[in-house]
A and B are shown apart, each in its own frame.
Chain A
Amino acid sequence: MQYFIIVFVLVLAGVGALFVLEDNDVLLTLTFVVVIVGFIFGVSRIAKEK
């Protein structure tokens, strides 16, 4: 279940990034890093499920 919640949060973060981010390569790259780390963290939560 945590996997799907994390996916939902990442989708919202992606939409938010489009409104918040401006012309900044570093922030854009950081957004991608957050999505990658977040998604892999979400997958790792599957291993923790009972």
Chain B
Amino acid sequence: MSFVNTLINGHNGGFAHEGMTPMQKIALRFVVLGVLFYGLAAIEGMMMRVVEITPVPAIDDTHFFSIMTVHPMVGVFGSTYMIVFGAFLFLVPFLMKKPIFSLKLANASWMLIGGGTFIMWLAGFIFAYSPLYTLYWPLPADFSQFSVIGGLFYVVGVALIMVGTFLYSYNVFKTIMYTPEGWEQQPSMELFKDAIGFKAIGNFFKGKKTEHIVDLPVAAISRGTIDVGLNAVVITAAGVLLLIYMGGALLGSNLEKTWVDALLYKNIFWWGLDLIADGLVLIFVAGTWYILAMMITGKDLFMKNVARAALFVEMVVSWTVWSHHLMSDQGQSNLLKVLSGEMVTALELVTQGLAVYITLVTLAKARPLKMTNELKFLLGGLLGFMLAVPAGIIQADLGMNRILHNTQWIIGSHVHVAILVGLTMTLYAAIYLLLPILTNGAKLYSQKLATTHFWLHLVGGIGMGSFMGMAGIDGMLRRSIYVDGEYNTYMILAGACGVLLLLAFAAFLFNVVMTIGVKGLIGIYSPAKSDTRDCVPAPQEA
């Protein structure tokens, strides 16, 4: 088969998108957009890496900080949210053997989150809105520095993302709890209590044995989705606050005298933002590890009751750790710094350590296992969090925080290793595992490209994070441009690793496109021919 033919029609004829269920198409629509936004975030990241090495005339300071403002938003909401939501909207009904509550809501979710991310990105690209994604008050409302229209685009984009997020969370919980037509009445309240973890707690205090009616992976998705919702409440509140000041600016009123307290704002904003970093990411990742370990081995999870309890503890911990982001704020109370910032944060080493241990033992007990792509990437994801979580605990120490706060260590050794190696490799494992299920058995175009993808991503991700971290220990601040090449050795090495990450993504994208073909890709976005709400086609349809 010629190259062009494979490119258009896919490997071995690609996959017959005509035979796909609406649910398969929706999941793939989320994933394809998520992968494309990952590519955008990777290119943005590489542009910033180049500027950190040498000035680039085409990227001035304003452009640099605009990219820096939207880069994490594109990565988190445009890519991670999309891939995770698509996978979970498919997996909840798939694992519960129950139709999804609403296909329309699921379709609305990917359109709103995808469209919102694009509009938010335009705020930086066209209007150079660049108060950085942390939106430290009063920067986002300082319209002497940033344009009101740019801010308006940014808020509208984020608002659409949040609406899509609320629709996703409603759809997931409703799917767990509702009674499909023709089914025996479902115990909605009991399903809710078991999904969140209240049932087990109640039984623990009553000394009763708990019979679970919601499987562990669905319980993990539910608990992570609680943090998704709480985060969306806070981000939406920040958006409404911004709109108030934008309205004032557009009407010609200067509302500077009514600016809210910066430290209070930072506490509330970080409480919400941290529900992504220390909440839904860790819970969703642990849940995904468990699903992957069970599907790869075909065996039950090791210590599954402990895993379930640890997920609940992780959820509660995630509500109370925000103060580790305010350890260097002079006005923050010492009580919150020590209790929330140091002590509760340290518990994450226990909860995430348990998740790593349970996953590894489940895999080890099922040996010999074939080193498939999903297993390779799962091990990479585990390694990523084994590196990034301790890095986070090190910086959540009042003494170490004096040295590491606001340096490249934070964003390199901790954030980028957690996201690029831990989270992204876990998501790649899920994509490799779900690809044949979602495409009714499409065969991967090239195993060599998949292996190349794995090694380039692993080495590139750990390498880039490590060299950024080393620069941070030597004093290089984050969100700063050094024009005299003070940290050039580290920045050149980090840049080289960034190139490996880009090449890894190119190998993956090329492999996927050649697997399903351009026709198949377009077909994913055409309406499904069957109107079933089943996840996969019935055997006679397949």
Contacts and interface: CB of A to CB of B under 8 A. Distances in A.
Contacts of A31: 268
Given A32-B271, A39-B226, A47 B177 contact: yes
Chain B interface, DSSP helix/strand/loop, else mixed = helix
Interface residues of A, number: 29
Nearest to A47: B188
| Residue from A11, A22, A25, A42 with most neighbouring chain B CB atoms (10 Å) | A11
B170 A47 contact: no
B297 interface: no
Interface string B69-96: 0000000000000000000000000000
Interface in B86-143: none
B416 to A, nearest CB: 28
B347 interface: no
A25 B335 contact: yes
A44 B188 CA distance: 9
Given A36-B319, A46-B177, A18 B264 contact: yes
A18 B138 CA distance: 13
Contacts of A7: 166, 229, 232-233
B196 interface: yes
Interface string B171-206: 001100110000000001101100010000000000
B241 A4 contact: no
A14 B263 contact: no
A38 to B, nearest CB: 9
B47 interface: no
B333 interface: yes
A15 interface: yes
Chain A interface, DSSP helix/strand/loop, else mixed = helix
A22 B177 contact: no
A10 B272 CA distance: 13
B230 A35 contact: yes
Nearest to B332: A25
A35 B322 CA distance: 15
Contact of A19 (B232, B236, B260, B333): B260
Interface string B501-524: 000000000000000000000000
Given A11-B240, A18-B241, 14 more contacts: A4-B166, A12-B240, A14-B268, A18-B268, A28-B268, A36-B319, A39-B229, A39-B230, A40-B226, A46-B173, A46-B174, A47-B188, A49-B174, A49-B178
Q: Which 5 A-B pairs have the closest CB atoms?
A: A14-B237, A47-B188, A18-B260, A47-B192, A47-B177
Interface of B: 166, 169-170, 173-174, 177-178, 188-189, 191-192, 196, 226, 229-230, 232-234, 236-237, 240-241, 244, 260-261, 263-265, 267-268, 271, 319, 331, 333, 335-336
22 contacts: A3-B173, A4-B166, A7-B232, A10-B233, A12-B237, A14-B234, A14-B237, A15-B237, A18-B241, A18-B268, A23-B263, A32-B271, A35-B230, A35-B233, A36-B319, A39-B226, A39-B230, A43-B192, A44-B192, A46-B174, A47-B177, A48-B189
